[in-house]
Amino acid sequence: MLLLGLTGSIATGKSTVSTLLSRPPYSLPVVDADLIARQVVEPGTAGYNAIVRYFLPSTPDLLLPEAGPAGRPLNRPALGRRVFGQGAERERDRKILNGIVHPAVRKEMYKQMVYAYLRGHWAVVLDVPLLFESGWERYCGTILVVGVGDPAIQIQRLRARDKHLTEEDARNRVLSQGDVREKAERCLRRGPERGVVVWNDGDKGTLERDIERVMEGVRRGSPRWWSALLWVCPPLAGIVGVVSWWRMRRVQLEWEAERKNNKAKL
């Protein structure tokens, strides 16, 4: 089973692509890291309790006033203002929040990937906004980056989607996820069959045609007979997965070493 990593940056159209891939003619299962991240911090979960213990003393509006069956939900805009943006304190709080959420998200993602494999799907989409930053790239046979050439377009789309965000809030959220153009460059370093970039500066029709073209190439690289063979022979699937992981880890380490050397020259 092919692990198809889907990433980009906030408000670049990644969610639109995820929806397209989940529907015919593709009908692929989607492991949505953002959705899972919401589920693992719902009232009553271990993640929710850990966030409340750390953030509530210094964030009075952390919880919404309306209580549900399991308690008061998190006030996500308030939590976002606390962790997004520049500065040592916000960076520290962002790391603490990620340390609470990420392990729970990973566990649920693994469960959903195994379920997709057992159901015989030829591929599963890993929809992860911080795919490179979190290390998920080494697990993916192919990565699709959805990008926008102009950060101003991201900010405009984000504010149109989330009406409560100010210009500064939107800019901080865009900056917190890194430059999507760097993600695109990193993706293409994997090679033409393992890294694909779609630039979503146009309309939805153009995006749909680009995704159709991309998926035709991805399907050629993972034909049905190969997918069926991996499904009926789990040991072979395990070997293929380990080889792919090792190759992609090497690409990841080479990229990180190159970036480190470039920074040292500055």
Do 214 and 190 have their domain in common? yes
Do 13 and 88 have their domain in common? no
- pLDDT, residue 266, reads 62
- pLDDT, residue 212, reads 96
Other Cβ atoms within 10 Å of 252 Cβ, number: 17
In DSSP notation, 205-227 reads: HHHHHHHHHHHHHHHHHS-HHHH
In DSSP notation, 3-24 reads: EEEEEE-TTSSHHHHHHHHHST
- Which tokens hold the place of 99? 């340390």
Do 78 and 2 have their domain in common? no
- pLDDT, residue 27, reads 95
Q: Which domain holds residue 7?
A: 1-29+122-266
Look-up: residue for tokens 């370093």? 189
Do 246 and 175 have their domain in common? yes
**Could you tell me the pTM of the whole model?**
0.82
Do 12 and 90 have their domain in common? no
- Which tokens hold the place of 20? 């397209």
Among candidate residues 70, 90, 118, the one where a domain is terminated? 118
Do 79 and 191 have their domain in common? no
Q: Give the CATH number of the domain where residue 200 resides.
A: 3.40.50.300
Do 193 and 248 have their domain in common? yes
Give the integer Cα–Cα distance in Å for 257 and 253.
6
Do 243 and 200 have their domain in common? yes
Do 139 and 225 have their domain in common? yes
Do 193 and 87 have their domain in common? no
Do 175 and 247 have their domain in common? yes
Among candidate residues 68, 101, 118, the one where a domain is terminated? 118
Among candidate residues 85, 118, 151, the one where a domain is terminated? 118
Give the integer Cα–Cα distance in Å for 152 and 111.
37
Question: Is the residue at 135 inside a domain?
Answer: yes
Question: Is the residue at 138 inside a domain?
Answer: yes
Give the integer Cα–Cα distance in Å for 232 and 11.
39
Question: Is the residue at 199 inside a domain?
Answer: yes
Question: Is the residue at 167 inside a domain?
Answer: yes
Question: Is the residue at 35 inside a domain?
Answer: no
Question: Is the residue at 241 inside a domain?
Answer: yes
What single-letter amino acid sits at 28? L
Question: Is the residue at 34 inside a domain?
Answer: no
Provide the domain count of the chain.
2
* pLDDT means over runs of 10, the chain (266 residues): 92 92 96 92 92 90 84 88 83 90 90 92 92 90 92 86 85 78 90 91 92 94 88 90 91 88 75
Do 207 and 83 have their domain in common? no
- pLDDT, residue 121, reads 93
Question: Is the residue at 96 inside a domain?
Answer: yes
